[in-house]
Amino acid sequence: MRLKAAVAASGVLALATLTACSGGDGGADGDSASGASTVTVAYQKTTAFHQLDDMLQVAKTQFEDANPDVTIELQPIEAEQDQYFTKLALMNGSPETAPDVIYEDTFQIRSDAAAGYLLPIDDYLADWEDWDQFFENAKQAGLGDDGKTYGVSMGTDTRGIYFNKTIFEQAGLPTDWQPESWDDILDAARTVKEKVPDVIPLNIYAGKAAGEATTMQGFEMLLYGTEDTLYDTDSSKWVLGSEGFTDSLGFLDTVYGEGLAPSLDIALDAAVGNRVSTELLPQGKLAMAVDGSWMPGGWISGENAWPEWEQTMGMAKMPTQDGGGPGFTSMSGGWTLAVGAHAEDPQAAFDFITTALNKENTFKYDTENSQIAVRKDVAEDPEYIAYNPSFEFFSALVDVTHFRPATPDYSQISSNIQVAAEAMATQQQSPEDAAAAYDAAVTGIVGDDNTTD
């Protein structure tokens, strides 16, 4: 019962910027889809991330059986995250290629809505009885700058540190390891390098090719553990010149400068995230990884199943810089399904979303992809709670989690964070110089009036 309550509470707390999930039968009765039509669905798929494709294949069959006049055309984009964003943007650039249903990251909702790529769906949501199943705070992540809803959440996530207990034991480190500061992480990495020299001590993303993983799983996991932040919500201004920003780069500089991280052929590979989850960790080549709650989903089932993961991997909370404040930190995000602005049959597109995200399919996706549930009926389901032994750990991180600024210019800011982080990996700049270059870039993007020291 304690775990059940924790998961349910996590949904309420975490969902300050998460989305609303959909559930319900939507167009399952066949009345809402008008005439014969085709609904195209664009989404990401990789070797490690197949769970969405699995769920959408099920939803396609369900929807077409109930709506014989509608054909669901699944269009998986086989690419890592940043490449997915690029290919999706190209598709959205023309009404002829723009998808009807889009797998949309919450941090891109506002910019894509402002760009005219997404359709507001408030009128459809008003007639959808399952909308009440979602935590009220969860609905905020689907909002555009105009206050209208553009996306329906599929779940959320948190981040921590995975560590290989077998490697730690070989290095003489505790198998119940929990660092209390950045120095504790560095000390453990240095110990692994000395005692078990044939493995990589630590992966924390720092390459531009890794895209948002570098920003969110890498840099922001550090920055939000300092006394500083990326964006001042009170003044609605971007923070420049902070000590925390430079210190975060300094941590990356130390990790890569001391040879505690993967070699650059791995670190700068666009598929580094996939390699971490399907190769480096399962094959015992990596001792520690700062990464997301979704990874066990690929180890529990599928072509990358790793039956020994539960006995092999430990999980630790990410400490704040010096153990101050709440002591620990995390980052949360989430993805949505959205209706494209150029959908020829927006009702059918929305109805497919309600089928894809009904309770049954949301349960399938959230369990198999290790998502923190945003539907009340899924979060409180005993089978959900019992499915994955990592759910309790990652749900508990909701109390200390943070969210990316939901602003239209965030993606440009994020790209410049990646530039600064990669300069640490390649040792091309000092932390101070990279931070100064970031400040100049941000000022160029948003203007002096939208920054603060």
User: Phi and psi (nearest 5°) for 233?
Assistant: -70, -25
Question: Looking at residue 137, what is its pLDDT?
Answer: 63
Residues 277, 366: Cα–Cα separation, whole Å: 18
Q: What is the pLDDT of residues 313-370, one digit of tens each?
A: 999 999 999 999 999 999 998 899 999 999 999 999 999 999 999 999 999 999 999 9
Question: Distance between CA atoms of 181 and 302, rounded to whole angstroms?
Answer: 36
| Residue range 134-153, pLDDT digits in tens | 877 668 779 998 999 999 99
Handedness of CA 256, 261, 266, 272 (dihedral sign): negative
> What predicted TM-score, i.e. pTM, was given to this entire model?
0.82
Tell me the per-residue pLDDT of 224-276, one tens digit each, with 9 for 90 and over: 999 999 999 899 999 999 999 999 999 999 999 999 999 999 999 999 999 99
Question: CA 283 to CA 167: how far, in whole Å?
Answer: 11
Contact 431, 423 (CB under 8 A): no
What 3-state class would DSSP assign to 34?
coil
CA distances from 293 to 146, 156, 173, 297, 358 (A): 31, 9, 23, 8, 22
Coil, strand or helix at 341: coil
pLDDT level of residue 201 (50, 70, 90 thresholds): very high
pLDDT for residue 32 is more than 80 = no
Task: Give the torsion through C-alpha atoms of 305, 310, 313, 319, to 10 deg.
Answer: 120
Higher pLDDT, 11 or 150: 150
* Mean of pLDDT values over 14-28: 37
Residue 215 DSSP label = I
The token duo for 289 is: 């990884």
All structural domains of the chain: 2-157+333-403 (3.40.190.10), 159-330 (3.40.190.10)
